[in-house]
Amino acid sequence: NVQVQDPLRIIGFPGNGDVNDLPQNLFTSSVNDVTVSSIKTTQGGAPLIQVGGNVEHGDSGGPALDSQGNVVGIVSFGLSSANSPGSTSFLQASNSARGLITSLNLSSTPGTFQKLWSKAFTDYSSNTAGHWHLAQQEFQQLATSYPQFKAITPYQTYAQNQAKAEKVPAAQVTHNSASPSSNAKATSWKSIALTVGVIAGIVLLVISLFAVAIRGRERKKKAPVPPGGQQASAQPQNFRPGYPVTPPALGPINNNRAASVAPPRGPQLMPGQPGPIQTPPGQVFPGRPAPGQHAGLAQGPGAQNTAQQETLRPWPCGHMNRLNARFCSVCGELAPQPPTIRRVEQ
């Protein structure tokens, strides 16, 4: 994508730049600006980039970069004539070099040094907050790992000076400037922690399910509780709701007290509920003498008490009550119905 008049920059080691034999000077590169003059081809059809500018002996093999930092060509050769004071330089297009690499099955994957170098210069040329601190630390890492490589010295010094005036959170610089090895260690620790957490969660889930199953079995063994929240209790068959249950009298009945106590006021009868049946006048139950008739009773001072005993009868509740009583004078139970009398014709 190179066009005529595009500015390019070449990096090389021109022989005329070696002012002495000091290694520091010999290994220091030179950067020159050139301009695309024309696009040519070789006899075999390979593209050539003709440039105008300061290209000298010793620059051959150096890269030519466009404004985006992409390598678009490699300094190859120059042509000159005796009648011309200057020379014309040509660059091999990067496409030709890529085809040559492919034909030779060469790997162009960046190595460890190239990755560190690229990252350091990426942060060096960035404009984000804290980029000078990052570049300084990355150049320091390069200098420590490759002490014989002195080309980073000017860039490292400049990054250090710029980082002194730059204000960024220390946590951000420390986190972003972690080395690949430390990042790998952090990733491995995160993986281990995640694995341990998953295993612990599974164990807790199994324990919870086991505990729930045991509780369910214990609940099944217990007696069911009715909706009222109380245990069901057996009740006697003759239990009548609404009336107290009183055990039968264990001793003799005080006739005077039983005769003198008025029957308590019992509950109101519901509509349609039959009332107690009173004995019609003159009607006598079989086997029981009528009132006023005391066959075989002794005549004397105790005749009145004996007559009172004749007017009381035992009820199913176990208490003695009068014949015409509607409710029990002790427990308030409803009077029992008299037995059915059937007339038998002779």
Q: How would you write the pLDDT of the chain (346 residues) with one tens digit per residue?
A: 888 999 999 999 888 887 888 877 787 888 999 999 999 988 888 899 999 988 988 888 999 999 988 999 999 988 877 776 667 899 999 888 788 888 888 888 899 999 999 999 999 988 888 899 999 999 999 999 999 888 889 899 999 999 998 877 655 545 454 555 555 566 677 888 889 899 999 998 889 888 888 887 777 766 555 555 444 444 444 444 444 444 444 444 444 444 444 444 544 545 554 555 444 454 444 444 444 444 444 444 454 555 555 578 888 888 888 888 888 888 888 888 776 666 666 5
Q: How many domains does the chain have?
A: 4
Q: Is residue 276 part of a domain?
A: no
99 and 119 in a single domain? The answer is no
Q: Which of 79, 103, 127 is the last residue of a domain?
A: 103
- What count of other Cβ atoms lies within 10 Å of the Cβ of residue 117? 19
Q: Is residue 332 part of a domain?
A: yes
Q: Is residue 277 part of a domain?
A: no
- Integer Cα distance of 36 and 10 in angstroms: 12
Domain carrying residue 195: 181-217
Predicted pLDDT of residue 157 = 94
- Integer Cα distance of 38 and 186 in angstroms: 52
- Integer Cα distance of 317 and 234 in angstroms: 19
Q: In sequence order, what E strands does the chain have?
A: 7-12, 30-41, 47-53, 63-65, 71-80, 87-93, 312-314, 320-322
Q: Is residue 274 part of a domain?
A: no
| Contact assessment for residue 39 and residue 54, using Cβ atoms and an 8 Å cutoff | no
Q: Is residue 323 part of a domain?
A: yes
- Integer Cα distance of 285 and 265 in angstroms: 27
Q: Which of 129, 153, 177 is the last residue of a domain?
A: 177
- What count of other Cβ atoms lies within 10 Å of the Cβ of residue 36? 22
Predicted pLDDT of residue 295 = 40
Which one, of 140, 81, 89, 146, lies nearest residue 113 by Cα? 146
125 and 200 in a single domain? The answer is no
- Integer Cα distance of 174 and 264 in angstroms: 96
117 and 36 in a single domain? The answer is no
Residues 6 or more apart whose CB falls under 8 angstroms from that of 170 comprise none
Residues forming a β-bridge with 80: 87
Q: What three-state secondary structure class fits 332? A: coil
pLDDT tens-digit map of 213-241 = 888 777 776 655 555 544 444 444 444 44
93 and 68 in a single domain? The answer is yes
Q: Is residue 227 part of a domain?
A: no
pLDDT tens-digit map of 315-333 = 888 888 888 888 888 888 8
Q: Is residue 55 part of a domain?
A: yes
Residue 217, token pair as written in the block? 């079995």
35 and 59 in a single domain? The answer is yes
pTM, entire model: 0.41
